[in-house]
Chain A
Amino acid sequence: DGGITQSPKYLFRKEGQNVTLSCEQNLNHDAMYWYRQDPGQGLRLIYYSQIVNDFQKGDIAEGYSVSREKKESFPLTVTSAQKNPTAFYLCASSIGGLYGSPKNIQYFGAGTRLSVL
């Protein structure tokens, strides 16, 4: 079954703790993305990666970190510097391609819901 797997489905963070959200894809996509969604709001881009060993900050990168050591994996760490981490986190991937390319269809995982204890 091809797709994007996010784990865990639910995660709780204690004060001052770093937590890592997993995102794995077996679609052979070059590009991967992390979004944050707050209740009743749209998605906001945290980080994205166009290729292995490279990633770029999105609109709300502060308090988050990522790595892209393997093509199929793009974990997101929510650090203690992120003071309001409670949200729904979504990972996506796409084939990649040039600006304006119709290959930019993004496929999403089922999400991780993070709460603070």
Chain B
Amino acid sequence: DAKTTQPPSMDCAEGRAANLPCNHSTISGNEYVYWYRQIHSQGPQYIIHGLKNNETNEMASLIITEDRKSSTLILPHATLRDTAVYYCIVRVGHGVAGANNLFFGTGTRLTVIP
């Protein structure tokens, strides 16, 4: 099962782009990269996911390297409400068809500074 490595914390100035890195060097060919975030004392919120190509939605952009061993989540214009813990997840199965379990590590605590 592929695991991920993220820096424990990062700061970003309000209005600037926040670039959150993630290493997943053991990712296999059919595993997706998912990003979630968790604002203090709330449930995690889905942000974006991708397989090979870069992806963009209304919340963020996901850049995946060509070898798929790392990725970067980009919040283009960070606001104070983006302060949260960000989880990079490579989908893990338990060997059972249809199992859709996600492994949440400790993530990156992003603090947006006014």
Contacts and interface: CB of A to CB of B under 8 A. Distances in A.
Interface residues of B, number: 28
Contact of A40 (B91, B97, B106): B106
A42 B98 contact: no
7 contacts: A31-B98, A50-B98, A90-B44, A94-B100, A99-B99, A106-B46, A107-B46
A46 to B, nearest CB: 11
Interface string A80-117: 00000000101010101111111011111111010000
Interface in B59-88: 87
A74 interface: no
B101 A33 contact: yes
Interface of B: 30-32, 34, 41-46, 49, 51, 87, 91, 93-94, 96-107
Interface of B is mostly: loop
Nearest to A33: B101
A101 B98 CA distance: 9
Given A33-B101, A40-B106, A102-B32, A108 B96 contact: no
Interface of A: 4, 31, 33, 35, 40-45, 48, 50, 56, 58, 88, 90, 92, 94, 96-102, 104-111, 113
